[in-house]
Amino acid sequence: MRLNAKGLAATHGEAADRLLSRVSLVELSPLVLERALSPFPLPVRTLDALHLATLEWLARAGRRPVVAAYDGRLRDAAVAMDYVLYPLDG
């Protein structure tokens, strides 16, 4: 964890642990990877395609994913796919 490298584990470690306990990892299954290779409403980069394909998989599984990203291209593509954007400051 980078907190250790920065000497912040004692002051920020517990908060980081709480945050990470709320994170779920999604396996990039062949179905998700196949979708990532298909066209999107807007041109996207490879990593964005993987994220968008994962969002689509989650939505089809009954989840309601919300997109939190500073990257304008990813945000534009997510909006074009009718995903909700998380409001970000900055």
Instruction: Give the tens place of pLDDT for each residue, 32-42.
Output: 999 999 999 99
CB 89 within 8 A of CB 64: no
CB 35 within 8 A of CB 56: yes
pTM for this predicted structure: 0.76
The band of 30, judged by pLDDT with boundaries at 50, 70 and 90, is: very high
Residue 1 pLDDT:
58
Cα–Cα distance between 40 and 62 in angstroms, integer?
A: 21
Q: Where are the domains of the chain?
A: 24-90
Tens of pLDDT, residues 47-80: 999 999 999 999 999 999 999 999 999 999 999 9
pLDDT band for 90, please (50, 70, 90 cuts): low
